[in-house]
Amino acid sequence: MHARLCRSGSGVFNTSRTVLTPPSHSSFESNMDPTLTGRAVGASIRQGNVGNMSNNDVTSSIEKNQAQLLNEERDHAIKYKTCSWQKTAALLFSEYICLAVLSFPWSYSVLGLLPGIILTVSVAAIVLYTSLILWSFCLKHPQIRDVCDVGRILFGGSNLAYNVTALFFILNNTFIQALHVVVGAELINTLSSSAACTVLFSAVTALACFFVSLPRTLDQLSWLGSLSAAFTGLAILLAIIFAGIQDHPFGYVPGQEPIVTAFPVIGTTFVSGKCMSAFLNITYILVGQITLPSFIAEMKDPREFPKALWAVTAAEIVVFSVCGSLQTTYQKIVFSFLTPTILFLGALYSSITSRFIFLRVLHGLYHCYSNTLTSWSIWVAIVAATWCLAFVIAEVIPFFSDMLSLMSSLFGDFIFWPMAYLQLYPKGMARWNSPMRTMETIFNYFLVLLGFYVLIVGTYISVDSIILSYQASQFSSTFSCASTSL
């Protein structure tokens, strides 16, 4: 009974406890409404029969499956499917409206204002579209717990695909944690006049984030997400006000006019001119889909997810297009309001990673949904391990913009979401049965190519940019005590 009850709180897992093998979904699906299990939908997709299911049939099946999932964890001490769409929106706002917006002035200075804004709107629209595809995919495969399950389904149930996706999932989240360790150290350096070593500031940031990461469900973290988003919004509002009232922007040379360009400055190149890095910075800030299956899996009613998605997309386009470059005094004021964001967003990704590992280690056991000493000891140990790894990464790669570019190249995941569309609409008439459907299919093939381009070319350029910056001595050495203040 414990094994069965644990499935709804921990996703779907294999019966082996000691070997971390990909979960088996057959036992889960045997209890689901047969019209909407992953296997049934997968078979319908392959046969081109998805269109034969009426909207009422699909809606009814979704309702039955969600009701069953909620019922199975009704008596759990720790319940996972507890997020309303408002709480999910708070998590999304905290994920997207975050401190990475600080990289936008640099990106716009490289690309020019007009191309920068056009690129921001275009990428946001693509992310919205592919996120809705992913949401639809998760509804049709209710056994999905995280992006690793998506990878498994897209590649025909492949265990290798599951494990490779899991590796990239953990690395992506841990790199984001490391990014917040880097920025946390920058924050302390900027706000203080202390001569203490930057490594110490990084350790303090990691420790503070560790404590924020300890709640075991997204529902428990959502109120912190609201606080984080509110403080970030206030910081950005102050940035806009200060940009308007300051005498001159940061980096202004007396006697010279500030450089304001609608297009890239003549001579700007692909690598040394940082055009690709600027594109990757914008892309990475807007691409957060790798966590969306985890959010959807913990919603009481996943059908309401688009409400949260539309709200955050509208907000991010406005916010990302108006952030400016500030003088040092104003930077300190604005930066101080980003403290909750630095702590929370790193904690959010640590929580998602830790829950993924935790529920694999304890699958089928009472501890996975209880408040026992064993469960909490394992949870705390996993969270601590993620932050130790993040701290090491932060000290080995102690820079901001190039880290964003590298992460965008490696973990952008534009390949996955169009493939979900190609799964939903199979070969044959279903992909080409109308002009609009044909255009949409071609567009999704384009997104697959874009994903490979970002992965291959973006990674090469990001690494090359890092090498050039090290050669120019723009970065401090690893585990350096040098100040990183803005």
pLDDT on residue 8: 34
What angle, rounded to 10 degrees, do the helices at 275-286 and 104-111 form?
140
Per-residue pLDDT of the chain (486 residues; tens, 9 = 90+): 333 333 333 333 333 333 334 444 443 444 444 333 444 434 443 344 444 445 555 566 666 666 666 666 666 667 778 888 988 988 888 887 776 676 777 788 788 888 888 888 898 899 899 999 999 999 988 889 899 999 999 998 999 999 999 998 998 899 889 988 988 888 888 777 666 788 888 999 999 999 999 998 888 888 888 888 788 778 777 877 777 777 766 666 666 666 667 677 676 665 555 777 788 778 877 777 888 999 999 898 899 999 999 988 887 777 776 665 544 556 666 777 778 888 898 999 999 999 999 988 887 777 777 888 999 999 999 999 999 999 998 888 766 667 667 777 777 767 888 888 888 887 777 888 889 988 999 999 999 998 888 888 888 877 887 777 777 766 666 777 776 666
Residue 418, C-beta contacts closer than 8 angstroms, at least 6 positions apart:
130, 133, 444, 445, 447, 448, 451
In angstroms, the Cα distances linking 16 to 24, 156, 358, 363, 375 are: 10, 22, 14, 8, 18
Contact (Cβ atoms closer than 8 angstroms) between residue 142 and residue 8: no
Q: Single out the residue of 455, 449, 139 nearest to residue 292, CA to CA.
A: 139
Q: How buried is residue 318: exposed, middle or buried, by Cβ count under 10 Å (0-12/13-18/19+)?
A: exposed
Cα(184)–Cα(191) distance, rounded to whole angstroms?
11
Tell me how far apart the alpha carbons of residues 170 and 168 are, in angstroms, rounded to a whole number.
5
Using one digit for the tens of pLDDT, what is the confidence trace for 183-224? 888 888 877 766 678 888 899 999 999 999 999 888 888 888
Predicted confidence at residue 13, as pLDDT, reads 31
* Residue 161 pLDDT: 92
Which residues is 299 bridged to in the sheet? 83
What is residue 69's predicted lDDT score, i.e. its pLDDT? 65
For the entire predicted model, the pTM comes to: 0.77
Look at residue 162 in the predicted model and tell me its pLDDT: 92
Q: What is the pLDDT of residue 400?
A: 62
> How many angstroms separate the CA atoms of 278 and 240, rounded?
21
Cα–Cα distance measured from residue 46 to residue 35, given in angstroms and rounded to the nearest whole number: 15
Percentage of the chain modeled with pLDDT above 90: 22
Task: Output the six-digit token pair for 157.
Answer: 């149930």
Q: What is residue 481's predicted lDDT score, i.e. its pLDDT?
A: 75
Can you identify the CATH homologous superfamily of domain 81-141+167-471? Hydantoin permease (1.10.4160.10)
Residue 299 three-state SS: strand
Q: Which DSSP category does 51 fall into?
A: G
Instruction: Specify whether the CB–CB gap between 65 and 32 falls below 8 A.
Output: yes
**d(Cα 359, Cα 379) in Å, to the nearest integer?**
10
pLDDT tens readout for residues 335-381? 777 788 888 989 999 999 999 999 888 877 777 778 889 999 999 99
Name the β-bridge partners of 83. Answer: 299
Question: Six-digit token pair at 125?
Answer: 């629209």
- Spatial separation of the C-alpha atoms in residues 203 and 209, rounded to whole Å: 10
